[in-house]
Chain A
């Protein structure tokens, strides 16, 4: 085995998983969902946990259900399932479209929706659409379950509101039935991380944009809601010129990094261009 040695548990229920984590005491625990980020980190020995708790056997964490004004997506639902699930396509099309752009087919079949959100990589594709749609995050812990709103969930680089001994179990996404949606991803080659991504969902009434929700990938340490763009869009005609004008606000309030794949100024520029394209595609 290439990673350093670790203990391994694969509980069959959420309660059992919480108990295993609680029982780990001082030992460092890592939770394994689809493993598409954790396994590479372990393989490179960048992290050497004492205990890996694999959620793969927990059936209750998989699948999507109708929950009234929202759909509830199990944390262990794979990206591939998110792309195909009819409930998601009908009520949260943006998630389905974004999931289609994640890495490659192998990763989409292994990687999970909840795993990606809990890992909170700034370049990952699922956090920004979840944020844009106002998802709520159901977190289970030793003292029961609590729900955290999207704006409070992503707190810092690779850091979320999930506390010690807690698990993300479900994501409730308010229904956006009938909304247009598009995820505009920009990367070097097909299987690599986003340099910048833009998630857009819009509701058009009679040729006018009635509501707009825009989330940005990799424009800061956490996914960012492009509120200035959203405000500028509402009430505008769903035309290319109006949308492009509103998109010029896309880098407001962002704090993009300069790294090997792009400089800050290029990312700011991309955010504007891609926002225009995402919204234009979303209005159809």
Chain B
């Protein structure tokens, strides 16, 4: 654990330390919000609408009010004057349509699960009993669920006052932006050119439930000078700001605490209706109040993810060179706008071009309202959708051209020596080595061997068919440079804050605005600080998730904690050292200019005189002996605003077996080689990759939030929403290449979303690859056994698909018509 890196002197960076937070998180003996019990605390239950669309004709709360233990019942009408509107922080266009979003519906309900009344009682059970006694009559209104229907003339409106079901139309065009050519010209040219082709496909990104492990929970204590809110949130700082704005409270009168939080995956980025309602009721009662949702409430009413229809047009030359890419999206907002709802598809806008040199690009997104629960960020947020579309298109193009899909990718990707590279979207990719990651993945996967087996299985029409899927992804991590966010009309910046407090005993308290909810911040950040300050790992305490401890911060999402928050910590540590130097010089009776700092010790250059940082901390605390003219403190803080995103990338290879008798898809082999820059803690990074893979694979194979015609979510329990477990996962072969980011001093890139972004297209490409002998070229997600089985019924099996002698004759069949298999840098792929 204490091996020193000879070149950097780092003791901790790169060590697979076990996470210091795990014992308390895994045993649950910690401050989960629902574990918090305050004296005299009341409990809430929500009455939720069972209908997706209707007018509240009447609400009878008389029986509920007299139910045992009940302290009060409030309808939307009772709260409407004070509840304000829940905010959306991202006005993607100046004319974006933004509906009112009350915490508790008053008059109209717009999705099944919307809150219509709140009960407070002495116990949670009594509150729930009373909720059953609230009688609500709804006059049904038309239900609008389908995006294509929603945008048609004459379709009933989700929000009549807006006059349309379109939230916004957002366009990026590389020709107009001056970052590339005109895509319509590129497509027209390809149509006219016999040596070019144009491929058009439509993909459906199904709705997903973030399904964090800990249901959302909020405790509010209105007593005392400040209102204190504990909540299972990813964004305590943002939530405090928003709560103050929504309710018109002074921000300084609100303390927002995210205690230990059990996962989020984007699903806890918000100020929620439940949080606002809990604050309102606590203030009315003048006593602490708790609300914890049930799992079914969570699945129904916490925001969902994805739900897009992607029409993709790709133009290419027949030698495989991509000449243009056009993206037409429909994105389902659901009934309301959450914190970044309209911006989620736009986060993908810059990633459809992925790792490729695409000369002309256009992205157009139409955001649509429907009467379903809102969508918002879900692990990857826009980038999984983009990666799916382009990686599916690259496989499709390779198939059309009869070339190996890896070779086709290499022909189009940015070469290592071309970095830094400005993409067709105008982003500057700082570093990358797609060749290295792909070579390693191909080697670990036995790509040639599996291709050979695939050909053999096809030739003998084996009941188990094999498919190989590829995903060479990149993503933009580290949300985000504040100026970039400003240019996109996002409501905040993307900096992060940290402070370091040197305690008299030599222990170190590190404050960070990044609010962990399972990622392992405490361990990784401790490792960074231990190296920066030369103190033992065990002596570093990471404090987070409390606006009174870290007064500012922008919280955790978008793979930003290490890349932005971690760098803020480094900057603060550098300031600590600079502040300590004059005091150390004073103690050593030397010139500041002669003081060197290394591994926790200040020493005088060329001598063996030295003093440790702990000794300086103690001396500074005592303040008996320090230089005149400076303050007796070596504490420091820093706010770091990145100048660029970081761009992790990787090559994911998936082999799937299709049981052609049942349609069942089984992952035979999954190899991924990610390049996330330098790695602070390989164990944590691998854990992030594994979890990400599980979520991405689950979208491909199992998960879908479905509604019936009336708008009722029919997958509101884990019986019907088929979330996989470890028992369903294949063994993952993971590895890393390390191409340091040049955008930050640690060379790190971020890993929280990588697995999710990369894996879904790898799996679907593999499924489609296995089904090609039946002439199948696409299949909708999730690829359930029934869906696959039905797809091949009544179709002829053509064993010759993709089969052709290869140049060296080493095996009978190859995926393309005579093209060489990709075999690493030597062959160079397609010519």
Contacts and interface: CB of A to CB of B under 8 A. Distances in A.
Interface of A: 1-2, 4-5, 40, 43-45, 104, 186, 188-193, 195, 260-263, 266, 269-270, 273-274
Given A5-B125, A45-B132, A260-B720, A188 B789 contact: no
B132 A4 contact: yes
Contacts of B132: 4, 45
A2 B719 contact: no
B784 A188 contact: yes
Given A260-B706, A269-B789, A189 B728 contact: yes
Interface in B392-407: none
Contacts of B786: 261-263, 266
Nearest to B708: A260
A112 to B, nearest CB: 19
The 7 closest A-B pairs by CB, nearest first: A190-B727, A1-B125, A188-B722, A189-B724, A273-B661, A189-B728, A266-B786
A191 B727 contact: yes
A44 B717 contact: yes
A69 to B, nearest CB: 37
Nearest to B128: A2
A230 B287 CA distance: 69
B723 A189 contact: yes
A189 B720 CA distance: 11
Interface string B712-723: 001101011011
A27 B626 CA distance: 81
Interface string B113-129: 00000000000110011
Interface in B709-760: 714-715, 717, 719-720, 722-725, 727-728
B129 A5 contact: yes
A266 B661 CA distance: 11
A255 to B, nearest CB: 19
Contacts, number: 57
B294 A2 contact: yes
B790 interface: yes
Contacts of A195: 785
B35 interface: no
Given A44-B296, A260-B706, A263-B786, A189 B722 contact: yes
Contacts of B129: 4-5
6 contacts: A40-B719, A43-B294, A104-B727, A186-B662, A186-B785, A266-B789
Contacts of B128: 2
Interface string B280-322: 0000000000000010100000000000000000000000000
Q: Is the interface of A mostly helix, strand, loop or mixed?
A: loop
Contacts of A44: 296, 717
B241 interface: no
A2 B295 CA distance: 11
A273 B659 CA distance: 11
B702 interface: yes
A276 to B, nearest CB: 9
Contacts of B724: 189-190
B121 to A, nearest CB: 12
Contacts of A189: 702, 722-725, 727-728
A191 B725 contact: yes
Contacts of B296: 44
Contacts of A263: 786
B785 to A, nearest CB: 8
Nearest to B727: A190
A191 B724 CA distance: 8
A1 B43 CA distance: 12
B657 to A, nearest CB: 15
Most buried by B among A1, A188, A195, A270: A188
Given A4-B129, A266-B789, A193 B719 contact: yes
B390 to A, nearest CB: 28
Given A5-B125, A189-B702, A263-B786, A104 B714 contact: no
Contacts of B125: 1-2, 5
Nearest to A191: B725
B713 to A, nearest CB: 12
B442 to A, nearest CB: 30
B636 to A, nearest CB: 49
Contacts of B725: 104, 189-191
A44 B128 CA distance: 11
Nearest to B295: A43
A7 to B, nearest CB: 14
Contacts of B728: 189-190
A191 B132 CA distance: 31
B722 A192 contact: yes
Contacts of B723: 189
Contacts of B789: 266, 269
Contacts of A193: 719
Given A45-B132, A189-B722, A262-B786, A270 B662 contact: yes
A189 B718 CA distance: 11
Contacts of B664: 186
A193 B718 CA distance: 11
A246 B777 CA distance: 35
Nearest to A48: B132
Nearest to B704: A260
A1 B727 CA distance: 31
Given A5-B125, A189-B728, A191-B725, 4 more contacts: A1-B124, A189-B722, A192-B719, A274-B662
A168 B655 CA distance: 48
Interface string B783-800: 011100110000000000
A152 B719 CA distance: 29
A282 to B, nearest CB: 18
Nearest to B784: A188
Contacts of A269: 789
Contacts of A188: 702, 722, 784-785
A274 B663 CA distance: 12
A102 to B, nearest CB: 13
B819 to A, nearest CB: 37
Contacts of A2: 124-125, 128, 294
Nearest to B724: A189
A125 to B, nearest CB: 15
Nearest to A187: B722
Contacts of A266: 786, 789-790
A66 to B, nearest CB: 34
A116 to B, nearest CB: 15
Contacts of B785: 186, 188, 195
A226 B132 CA distance: 45
A260 B661 contact: no
Most buried by B among A40, A186, A195, A266: A266
A195 to B, nearest CB: 8
A112 B125 CA distance: 28
Nearest to B463: A273
A104 B728 CA distance: 12
Nearest to A186: B662
A80 to B, nearest CB: 16
A23 to B, nearest CB: 25
A5 B124 CA distance: 12
Contacts of B661: 273
Contacts of A40: 717, 719
B714 A260 contact: yes
Contacts of B727: 104, 189-191
Interface in B5-61: none
B516 to A, nearest CB: 27
Nearest to B661: A273
Nearest to B68: A5
A189 B706 CA distance: 17
B619 to A, nearest CB: 56
A192 B125 CA distance: 29
B385 to A, nearest CB: 23
